[in-house]
A and B are shown apart, each in its own frame.
Chain A
Amino acid sequence: MGEMKTPVLIKKGAEASLYLAKWHGRKVIMKKRLPKKYRLSRLDEQIRTYRTAHEPRLMHEAKKAGVPTPIIFLVDMKKATIIMEFVDGKQVKQLLDEVSESQRRQLCLKIGELIGRLHKHGIIHGDLTTSNMILDSDGKIFFVDFGLGEKTSELEARGVDLHLMRRALESTHFRFAEECFNAVIEGYSKVLGDNVTKKVLDKIGEIERRGRYIAERKEEA
C-alpha cells in the first residue's frame, strides 16, 4: 500500500473502522472493513468485498453528478480497505441542532439539492444520515459512506432513500425533524422539479404505510 505512517483509529463504526494516517505526505482516511465475528466467514467476505468495490465506484459517480465526495487514492480489495482524502470539517450531525434557524434551513436546502443531484444521476446513497455528511470550511457539504448505495433511478429506491433521511432526522434531530425534512424536500425539488418530487413523496407515503410507520394522527388529535 506504499508508505503509511502510524494510522490512528478515529472512529470505530459498525461497518468499518476509520483511521487517520499520512500517506505519501498527505493526510488521508483509511477505511477498513474488518471481518465481523458474528457473521459466517463466507457471508462476511462476500459483503465486505462487495461494499469495498462498490463504494469507490459510487463516490466517483457522485462527483460527476456534482456532489462533493472525498477523492479515492487506493482500493485494496484483499484487505477490504479504501484510502481516501481526509475532509477537514464537521459532521452535519454535530452542527444541525446547534446552528441558527436560518443556517439550519440553508444546510437542509443544500442537502436536499445534493440528494436531488444524486438521484437525478441514478445514484442512491443508501444510508442518508447526518453523520454521513461533512461540512468543510468553504461551506461545501461532502457525502461519505456509499457502501450501501446502488445505481438505479427507480422511484421505490428514491423513496426509501429519502425515507431514511427523514428517519435519521426523526431519531437524531427530533426537535427540528419536520422543518429540516421540509427544507430537504424543497432543495430536492429545485433539482428534480415538482412533478418528480411529488411522485417520490407519494412513494414515501406508500413505503411508510407498508411497514408500521404510520402513526394514527387522527386518534392522537
Chain B
Amino acid sequence: MEKYCLGIESTADDFSVGIVTFKGKVLANIISAYMSEEGGIHPREAARHHAIAANKTIREAFEKAQIKPQDLTVIAFSQGPGLGPCLRTGATVARALASYLDVPLVGVNHCVAHIEIGKLATKVKDPITLYVSGGNTIVSAFDSGRYRIFGETLDIALGNCLDVFAREAGLRQREGMPFGAVVEKLASKGKKLVLLPYTVKGMDMSFSGLLTAVVNLLKRGEYRLEDLCYSLQETAFSMVTEVTERALAHTEKKEVLLTGGVAANRRLQSMIEAIAEEHDAKFQVVPKQFALDNGAMIAWTGVLAYKHGIVTPIEKSFVKLRWRLDRVEVPWVK
C-alpha cells in the first residue's frame, strides 16, 4: 500500500500544505499567500492569515491528492527558521492533526527542505546549492552528514533587498507577480548601469549597503526606475554568483542547484548557468511551483527523515526561529 506524508509550511508569508507519497510523487501542493497592503510582512498579521487559511488549505490538499486524512502515515511541519508567530501557527495545526489522527510528527528544517525538493525535482545528487529567498541567502554543499554553509549574507537576504527596494519605489505585487518578478520585468527594460556598492567578504555577502545606496539614488530622482532595477539586479546577482563560483571552485562539485523564491529570476539563472558551464558542472534550477515556500518540500523532507527513523515527539516540537541549516543531521544523504 502506498504511504503518504502531509507537510505544513508556515515560516513566513505563505501558508502551504503539500501531500507526497513515500516514493516522492507530489500529489498536492496548495499555497495560500498572505499579501500585506503596505510595508513588509507583519508577523502577527501573517500568522492570523495562516490560522484562517489552514482549514481551507488542508481540505483543498486532500481533495487534490484524492486521499483521506486516515491514509496519512506521518505529518511534517516546518519547525524553523522563520518568524515566530507564523511558525507557531503551522506547528499548532500540525500537532493537532497528528494527535487527532494518531500519526507521528516530524519537525523539518525549512532550508534543508528547499534543497531536498530541488534535488527531488531536478534529480541532481550532490550539488553546490544557491538558496536565495526573502529570508535566506545561502551557498551550501553536503559533507559528512550535514549541509555545510560556505557562504551566506551577513545582514539581509537577497530577496528581502529586492522587496524593500520595490516597496520604496511604490511598486505593487499581486498573486502570481511578487515583487521580485516586478523588479525583474522593469530591469529587463534597463539600459544604463549605475555603479553601486559591491560587497563580497570572503564567501559572505552584504546587501544592506547596496540597498541603502540604491534607495538614496531613487529618492534623488535622477535615474530611471528601470535603470535602477537593472543596476540593483546586476550588482546583487553578480555578488551571489561570484560567491557560488568560489564555493564551486573550492569544493569541485559537479552540479549546481539554484533554489528558493529568487530562483525564478531568469537573469540570475543565466548567470549561475554561466559559472556552472565554466567549471564543467551541471546546472539545474528548481521548477517554479517548488521555488517559493511550499508544503510539498516539507512533506518530502518529512518522508526522508521519517524513513531514517527521525520523529519529533510533541514535547520537542517547539519552533526554532534561528535554526541553522548546518546544525541539522541529514542521515539520508550519502
| Residues in A lying within 8 Å of B, measured CB to CB | 12-15, 36-40, 42-43, 46-47, 126-129, 131, 148, 160, 163-164, 167-168, 170-172, 174, 207, 210-216, 219-220
Question: Across the interface, do A14 and B238 meet the contact criterion of CB distance under 8 Å?
Answer: no
Distance in Å: Cβ of B262 to nearest Cβ of chain A? 15
Segment at the interface with A among B113-121, B216-224, B242-250: B242-250
Question: Across the interface, do A15 and B81 meet the contact criterion of CB distance under 8 Å?
Answer: no
Question: Across the interface, do B318 and A212 meet the contact criterion of CB distance under 8 Å?
Answer: no
Segment at the interface with A among B87-95, B142-150, B177-185: B142-150
A127 to B201: give the CA distance in the assembly, Å.
6
Distance in Å: Cβ of B275 to nearest Cβ of chain A? 6
Distance in Å: Cβ of A81 to nearest Cβ of chain B? 19
Question: Across the interface, do B327 and A148 meet the contact criterion of CB distance under 8 Å?
Answer: no
Question: Across the interface, do B320 and A216 meet the contact criterion of CB distance under 8 Å?
Answer: yes
A179 to B125: give the CA distance in the assembly, Å.
32
Question: Across the interface, do B250 and A210 meet the contact criterion of CB distance under 8 Å?
Answer: no
Instruction: Kindly identify which residue among B155, B274, B279, B318 contacts A38, using a CB–CB cutoff of 8 Å.
Output: B274
Chain A hits for B195, CB < 8 A:
42-43, 46
B215: Cβ under 8 A from any A Cβ: no
List, sorted by A's number, 17 A–B pairs whose CB atoms are closer than 8 Å: A36-B238, A38-B238, A126-B201, A127-B201, A160-B154, A163-B204, A167-B203, A167-B204, A170-B149, A171-B143, A171-B150, A174-B146, A174-B148, A211-B152, A212-B152, A213-B324, A216-B320
Question: Across the interface, do A215 and B193 meet the contact criterion of CB distance under 8 Å?
Answer: no
Chain B hits for A168, CB < 8 A:
202
Question: Across the interface, do B322 and A148 meet the contact criterion of CB distance under 8 Å?
Answer: no
B73: Cβ under 8 A from any A Cβ: no
Q: Which 6 A-B pairs have the closest CB atoms?
A: A14-B245, A164-B202, A14-B246, A38-B271, A38-B274, A14-B249
Chain B hits for A170, CB < 8 A:
148-149, 326
Question: Across the interface, do A164 and B200 meet the contact criterion of CB distance under 8 Å?
Answer: no
Chain B hits for A40, CB < 8 A:
193, 234, 238
Question: Across the interface, do A47 and B198 meet the contact criterion of CB distance under 8 Å?
Answer: yes
B22: Cβ under 8 A from any A Cβ: no
Number of A-B contacts (CB under 8 A): 106
Interface of B is mostly: mixed
Chain A hits for B144, CB < 8 A:
174
Question: Across the interface, do A127 and B323 meet the contact criterion of CB distance under 8 Å?
Answer: no
The chain A residue sitting closest to B271, CB to CB, is A38
Distance in Å: Cβ of A195 to nearest Cβ of chain B? 25
B321: Cβ under 8 A from any A Cβ: yes
Chain B hits for A216, CB < 8 A:
320-323
Question: Across the interface, do A167 and B155 meet the contact criterion of CB distance under 8 Å?
Answer: no
The chain A residue sitting closest to B204, CB to CB, is A164
Instruction: Kindly identify which residue among A43, A131, A210, A220 contacts B327, using a CB–CB cutoff of 8 Å.
Output: A220
Question: Across the interface, do A211 and B155 meet the contact criterion of CB distance under 8 Å?
Answer: yes
A207 to B154: give the CA distance in the assembly, Å.
7
Chain B hits for A160, CB < 8 A:
154, 201, 204
Instruction: Kindly identify which residue among B136, B193, B202, B241 contacts A148, using a CB–CB cutoff of 8 Å.
Output: B202
B235: Cβ under 8 A from any A Cβ: yes
A219 to B327: give the CA distance in the assembly, Å.
12
Question: Across the interface, do A212 and B202 meet the contact criterion of CB distance under 8 Å?
Answer: no
Question: Across the interface, do B242 and A148 meet the contact criterion of CB distance under 8 Å?
Answer: no
B284: Cβ under 8 A from any A Cβ: no
Question: Across the interface, do A215 and B235 meet the contact criterion of CB distance under 8 Å?
Answer: no
A12 to B275: give the CA distance in the assembly, Å.
12
Chain A hits for B270, CB < 8 A:
38
A83 to B106: give the CA distance in the assembly, Å.
56
The chain A residue sitting closest to B150, CB to CB, is A171
A171 to B152: give the CA distance in the assembly, Å.
12
* Other contacts beyond A38-B270, A164-B201, A214-B324: 7, CB < 8 A: A13-B249, A36-B238, A126-B202, A148-B201, A164-B204, A172-B250, A213-B324
Question: Across the interface, do A38 and B275 meet the contact criterion of CB distance under 8 Å?
Answer: yes
A211 to B154: give the CA distance in the assembly, Å.
5
The chain B residue sitting closest to A125, CB to CB, is B202
Distance in Å: Cβ of B192 to nearest Cβ of chain A? 10
A14 to B250: give the CA distance in the assembly, Å.
8
